[in-house]
Chain A
């Protein structure tokens, strides 16, 4: 198991290095440059470029950036004068993370439950009900779900505040809006996977041992059926985190989404780079955790040569 984790860790590290490199050069490849404003005289522009080191060859800039990165320095925002990118992340990420984690947990719980209920009631009313929820959830884009929930629950029914982030009641609508798609996706995967597992011989064997239907589902079926769900948890985390941009702006959550968008609009190199690397690293770590989780659930994955004996 230790070897497995170590191997995964190195792969993750390599991914992050590749990510930094690719993103660095890609951002520079976007046409235009940060200081293209009519208000700036050519001298000021020159000075600004020199100040940020953009007059040096690209590879020198790259090496410098990596050197700073290793010390945890993500650079300074060009747009928000003098604000450190790390500081921007530190201020705004907790909101995004709080929203994202709530949504992810909700999606996992509800999605897996829906999938199991659906599979156990195959072909009956509850199954169709869950399938309809799943299809609607997968089909509706974030911004539609977001506005719809706002309209129904905040404006018409006045059950929850319409926007902002000031306590639990404020978090309910954005969490639901953000988790809806993922819930539906997980429910569909879980349902299909449960149906497959139900037909397996070991389920019949479990029945022949005298286990009750509930014990069979709880001990054997869910555990085996959940493997595909865990596999996609990595990409799903990505989907939820990127989804926050839209949901954050609909519900005026002070998260990172706004800085990302403004960074790209203003060609704020260090801001785009810093946020992308931060997100990227976060996702790579999420995948790393998922890989390890997978090894825990499915013993066949964590085989290394010594274990095989």
Chain B
């Protein structure tokens, strides 16, 4: 398994107290699979990704749980061994291509660096050839000429291609893309997503894509993990999650998207309220205050994962009391009552 995350907890000590950014996350990414991590800002998506790469300095962060890659426990690895994994086994694409490149170094050299740091014996000429090859692969025209250029000479989309080239030049087992298209305009977004999907097939790498854009997910992901307040609240095959969301938060998220066949003046639904304060995480469900289907038990006890099955018998999991055997009647009421958001029918 390229990546398995078990009971991951990350908290940061600040002057205002301890913030639990990630609260018991379990994730699996299998061979050649694309997992999308979806959630709003501050729900722990990026922290999870950066913890996998061990990019979060600890201390001050407190990290518990386990992250394994092909059975190797990354969290316990000495820094020296971890360095050999970063860039070589796991490539990472960051959010903002405008700041991800060193402004004073030729982009070719920056990409080459990612290669030569893991393969010391490589001759500079061979390395440069490989860089040019990868530049071509990520869709940069005239790669030989671009080698000596600097980041400021490229547009945002082109820069993101350079960043992607850097992440994939060692053909990593796993590619983590942390909101790779957030800083780009819509047409460029589509191109970059196509590129990532393309590279995934070509390099046979597994992909974790972090996003808050459901459109991105629908395009790419085999599976979805919905994050809320530092937890995975629903997880399953993308079509199951899309067509049959079983957590009220997922349902609300899916309903808060605009659609092309809407009438003029139709209002975009939003999820009322705000996520819980992670300085003092709630005892029960984090979505309790915002959930139209909330029950008394949701306030008091953290829900467990319950499996739900679609008509084909394929199951996916969600962290919600509604799916508890004795919650079924509530579930039925919730399902018939417009899924908790007033005045909207499901768009799915």
Contacts and interface: CB of A to CB of B under 8 A. Distances in A.
A210 B103 contact: no
B74 interface: no
A220 B150 CA distance: 14
A298 B103 CA distance: 8
Contacts of A297: 104
Contacts of B92: 205, 208
Contacts of B118: 210
Contacts of A204: 55, 94
B117 A211 contact: yes
A300 interface: yes
Contact of B166 (A205, A303, A309): A205
Nearest to B166: A209
A98 interface: no
A211 B113 CA distance: 8
Given A298-B104, A299-B103, A210 B83 contact: yes
B83 A220 contact: no
Contacts of A298: 103-104
A224 B113 contact: no
16 contacts: A201-B94, A201-B100, A202-B103, A204-B94, A205-B101, A205-B166, A206-B102, A208-B92, A209-B86, A209-B117, A210-B86, A210-B118, A211-B117, A219-B105, A299-B152, A308-B153
A208 B163 CA distance: 11
A208 B53 contact: yes
A3 interface: no
B96 interface: yes
B84 interface: yes
A224 B102 contact: yes
Contacts of B96: 201
Nearest to B176: A208
B273 to A, nearest CB: 32
Interface of A: 200-202, 204-212, 215, 219-220, 223-224, 227, 297-300, 303, 308-309
The prevalent SS among residues of A at the interface is: helix
B87 interface: yes
Nearest to A224: B104
Given A204-B55, A205-B94, A205-B166, A210 B114 contact: yes
A299 B87 contact: no
B84 A205 contact: no
Contacts of B83: 210-212
A303 B94 CA distance: 27
Nearest to B54: A207
A227 B99 CA distance: 17
Given A201-B94, A205-B166, A215 B103 contact: no
A212 B117 CA distance: 9
B88 interface: yes
Given A210-B117, A298-B104, A299-B104, A201 B86 contact: no
Given A209-B86, A210-B88, A300 B102 contact: no
Contacts of A309: 153
Contacts of A211: 83, 87, 113, 117
Contact of A202 (B87, B100, B114): B100
B102 A202 contact: yes
A210 B104 contact: no
Contact of A220 (B84, B85, B86, B102): B102
A297 B104 CA distance: 7
Nearest to A211: B117
Nearest to B83: A210
Contacts of A207: 55, 86
Given A209-B166, A211-B117, A300 B86 contact: no
A309 B163 CA distance: 22
Nearest to B150: A299
Interface string B83-126: 11111100110101001111111000000011001100000000
